[in-house]
Structure 1
Amino acid sequence: MSDSNGDRPPRPSPLDDPQRRRLLGEEARLEGVEEETWIDVIQKMDEVYSQLLRDEVALEEKNAQLEQSQQFIFSLLSAMSDVLVACDHRGAIEETNAALRELVGRGEAELRGTSVYALLADEAAAGRLRAIVEQRGASRAGEAVEIELLDAQGRAVPVDLNCTPRVDGNGRRVGTVFVGRPMAEIKRAYRELREAHEALKRTQQQLLHSEKLASLGRLVAGVAHELNNPISFVLGNVHALQRYGQRLGQYLEAVHAHEDEATLAALRRSLRIDHVLADLPSLIDGMLEGAQRTADIVQGLKRFSAVDREEHAEVELNAVIERAIHWVCKGTAQGFRVHWTPGAPCTVSGSAGQLMQVVMNLVQNAHDAAVRPQGAEEPALCIESEADAGRVRVRFRDNGPGIPEGLLSRVFDPFFTTKPVGKGTGLGLSISYGIVERHGGRLTAGNAPQGGALFTLELPLARQAGPVG
């Protein structure tokens, strides 16, 4: 069958045959019929013949289009990665695609007419599928069911099937179409993704812990310097108390030996017992003060090292800023000039340890950014605060080169740092940003008009503070 009428020579019309016309003329004369009548009949036959030719050409074109449609549908079925099974109302397989045949390891001829239930791994799955195939009045939207098919090796493969009823031209249900995707690869990929996510979470926790230890290291350097004063004071008083104890012991030995009054009076003057007794209260008070000072410092250190367990409380922000400046400047940023004049008492709601970490990070970053070559202007930081409309804003402006415009949008990104390798993790500002957000505030970065980087910490005052995570 040709594809078009132009592929073959035209067939001759009955009127183009002279011999046929002569015979017809003779027959007409024999029977007494006019020749014109026969010519009309032959013309009608020619018209019918021409129409038959046109119908034949149209039929050939329709056949070619049908073949192209079949090839298109076949290519779609072959290209599908999802498995496809079409069965009749009894569950007999009428059509499958290459993905299904490859999964079960059977050919098209072998599967055609086979019960769809024979592909299933167990009777429970067959029961669920049979209920879908045999039900009447199913929704055109279909329904989803997860079953297990037997693959070519006889192993059960989970498949997520979408079951849709198939109807004829009269709307009568004649079968069911199953389209599904084997879930083994997806489940394995999901399991690997979950394992990778857990590993990433562990790595993130380790990095956060490393950054916390780095902040704690800067804190300890300042704390060690600060602890030196009260400990030295207590140590000096202890040595004095030890000498006083020796004198008092010597005097008490004389008393217990029942020495005479004159000897005891002379010994009392030589050992300066009266001075010892007068000095003891101040020595004890000094040691108590030094011990209490040490205990306060250690308690503050414990609060900072356990910021994640810190409970919601009211915090005097000025005290936090002053303590953070003190510890950073006493530790890793010695010689760093910080201009800070505390304003009116300012109470916010949140975690003192977490806010201490934020301020220490900002002060330390300002020091690192403002460090100049030897002989240049000394690095310095100016801290200003103001409170209005239920919020407090603290500005940290250093005298460094500022932040390049192209990097302003990345300042708070995790792991982003301009410091040399080994000098920073790139997590300090990112962690600080998250802490401030959990306190209902904002942390922004920019450049001051007079030069240098400008970080602004904004927090709600205690009476309007949001929940702290």
Structure 2
Amino acid sequence: MPPRPRLDTQPPEPPPQGMDDAAWVDVIQKMDEVYSQLVTDEIELEKKNAELEQSQQFIFSVLSAMSDVLVVCDAQGLIEETNAALCELVGRSEQQLRGTSLYDLLADPASEARARAVMANRSPTRRGESIELNLRGAGGEGVPVDANCTPRFAASQRRVGTVLVARPTAEIRRAYQELRSAHEALKRTQQQLLHSEKMASLGRLVAGVAHELNNPISFVLGNVHALGRYSERLRDYIQAVHEGRTPAELQALRTRLRVPHILDDLPSLLEGTIEGAQRTADIVNGLKRFSAVDTENRQDVDLNKVVDRSVLWISKGASRGLQLQWRPGEPCIVRGNAGQLQQVVMNLLQNALDATSERPQQAPQVSIAIDATATHVLLRVDDNGPGIAEADLSRIFDPFFTTKPVGKGTGLGLSISYGIVEQHGGVLSARNLPAGGARFEVSLPRLTSPVNRPGFPGHS
């Protein structure tokens, strides 16, 4: 049987002299507080470590996602940080690049000299400096890049390195080419849209234009028929003269054919024919100017003439009860494209007529006036329609915005007119009149010098 262990029969050591139970309780409480603080600090440290790791992961994901080349160097040009784009470009891993010299990545002495000059700059701007470099690609070939070199500063504002962000020039050129192609396509689309709306406006005025063309053409045709009859009579009389008929016979034939009346009527017939042909030519030329696509053709234009042509075409296709007030005044010369300005005026007039048609119980009224100041020409078009809803005033010039029923409007007329006026250095605005109806006002820069110059294109 194993021996029993000996029991220690000595009493425990007494507590230190001078410390009672309350002191021990304080010590234990302090130890608990310290332990709790240690636990809290450990939890906070773990939380900070987790946040730091998330931040590092975020920075790493951003660097990996960058398509541009990134190089972070110290003051001596040694690489401290890179991204995946650089590693892929030069064919080396991040571990292989870290600690190597930036200049080892450059493909030619000229690039190295430019890089050293930027790195040695003692007073760089915080926005950095752009330079062109040739990096050595994975196959040893030179890869041109457009680089921005930004200085990196410590808390003491001492420069501690450089951050270089570069993009291959080929990508920049390709992006520029795509942007340029998109811009050209947008310009073509804008021109097509402008021309389409112009043709749509002209289509709505076909009846009025056809009527306006019919008058001088009918006048010319009537005169030509009369000239044809007169020519037959004169031919018979001249033939009788050549046949040697007696004076009495010629006098009788002269009276029967009414030769004196023909001779008296010929000048007026010819003058009327020429006038009708000229009116037809003027209308056709106006149509050509209106439908022209050329936007760069700028000349001196009398706004009165533009309104005259627009009123002439609009009024022919308007309702019979239209009360249109317009009286041209002194020449008001602006610099611009006559066809485009006419499109603006016609759009405003057509818009006014459409507004007045919404109140069939009252006679449609449209008033046009032109005022001139020392610097500007102001064109106002007023109507007695229902006016513009307050909610629509801020959107009335937006593309494709229209309050008309489907099939009655494209929503482009006022938008295009706004753009044309803006291109001419002017302002197109709209507001409601206190007495009812709406007012559209066009303000354009005025030219005063061409008025005294005879024969300028606006008066042709």
Same fold by TM-score greater than 0.5: yes
**Distance across 1 between alignment mates of 2:434 and 2:75:** 80
Q: Name the counterpart of 1:214.
A: 200
Q: CA offsets per residue over residues 272-307 of structure 1, 9 Å max, x none?
A: 223222322222222222223323333433443458
SS in 2 for 1:347: coil
**Distance across 2 between alignment mates of 1:451 and 1:329:** 22
Change (3 A) 1:74 1:360: closer
SS in 2 for 1:324: helix
Aligned length, in residue pairs: 403
Q: Provide TM-score, normalisation by structure 1.
A: 0.69
Q: Name the counterpart of 2:432.
A: 447
Match among 296, 300, 306 for residue 313 of structure 1: 300
SS in 1 for 2:244: coil
Most deviating of 139-148 and 250-259: 139-148
Contact 2:107–2:134 at 8 Å: present in 1 too?
A: yes
Change (3 A) 1:123 1:419: farther
Match among 347, 361, 377 for residue 361 of structure 2: 377
Change (3 A) 1:143 1:435: closer
Match among 166, 188, 200 for residue 202 of structure 1: 188
**Distance across 2 between alignment mates of 1:265 and 1:176:** 117
Confirm whether residue 271 of structure 1 aligns to residue 247 of structure 2. Answer: no
Q: Name the counterpart of 1:182.
A: 167
Q: State the AA in 2 paired with 1:335.
A: R
What does residue range 133-144 of structure 1 map to in structure 2 within 5 Å?
135=120, 137=122, 139=124, 141=126, 143-144=129-130
Q: Name the counterpart of 1:349.
A: 333
**Distance across 2 between alignment mates of 1:407 and 1:461:** 30
Q: Name the counterpart of 1:426.
A: 411
Q: CA offsets per residue over residues 300-357 of structure 1, 9 Å max, x none?
A: 334434584665436262x5434322211214x34360331527x2331215544433
Contact 2:132–2:144 at 8 Å: present in 1 too?
A: no
Q: CA offsets per residue over residues 180-216 of structure 1, 9 Å max, x none?
A: 1435666644543333222112111111122233334
Contact 2:353–2:366 at 8 Å: present in 1 too?
A: no
**Distance across 2 between alignment mates of 1:86 and 1:106:** 16
- Following superposition, the deviation at residue 127 of structure 1 comes to 4.0
Q: Name the counterpart of 1:39.
A: none
**Distance across 2 between alignment mates of 1:140 and 1:270:** 104
Most deviating of 351-360 and 253-262: 351-360
**Distance across 2 between alignment mates of 1:166 and 1:403:** 60
SS in 1 for 2:385: coil
Q: Name the counterpart of 1:146.
A: 132
Q: State the AA in 2 paired with 1:348.
A: C
**Distance across 2 between alignment mates of 1:258 and 1:215:** 64
What does residue range 1-40 of structure 1 map to in structure 2 within 5 Å?
none
- Following superposition, the deviation at residue 435 of structure 1 comes to 4.1
Confirm whether residue 246 of structure 1 aligns to residue 232 of structure 2. Answer: yes
- Following superposition, the deviation at residue 251 of structure 1 comes to 1.7
Structure 2 residues without counterparts, runs of 5 or longer: 1-12, 14-37, 451-460
Change (3 A) 1:261 1:101: closer
- Following superposition, the deviation at residue 257 of structure 1 comes to 1.3
Change (3 A) 1:265 1:310: same
Q: Provide TM-score, normalisation by structure 2.
A: 0.70
Contact 1:251–1:267 at 8 Å: present in 2 too?
A: yes
- Following superposition, the deviation at residue 120 of structure 1 comes to 3.4
Match among 259, 264, 269 for residue 283 of structure 1: 269
**Distance across 2 between alignment mates of 1:67 and 1:372:** 72
- Following superposition, the deviation at residue 405 of structure 1 comes to 1.6
Confirm whether residue 417 of structure 1 aligns to residue 417 of structure 2. Answer: no
**Distance across 2 between alignment mates of 1:304 and 1:169:** 69
Confirm whether residue 160 of structure 1 aligns to residue 142 of structure 2. Answer: no
SS in 1 for 2:131: strand
What is the aligned-residue identity percentage? 52
SS in 2 for 1:335: coil
- Following superposition, the deviation at residue 402 of structure 1 comes to 2.6
**Distance across 1 between alignment mates of 2:230 and 2:347:** 47
Q: State the AA in 2 paired with 1:342.
A: R
- Following superposition, the deviation at residue 249 of structure 1 comes to 1.2
Q: State the AA in 1 paired with 2:95.
A: A
Change (3 A) 1:102 1:214: same
**Distance across 2 between alignment mates of 1:136 and 1:430:** 53
Structure 1 residues without counterparts, runs of 5 or longer: 1-17, 19-56
Contact 1:446–1:453 at 8 Å: present in 2 too?
A: yes
- Following superposition, the deviation at residue 121 of structure 1 comes to 4.3
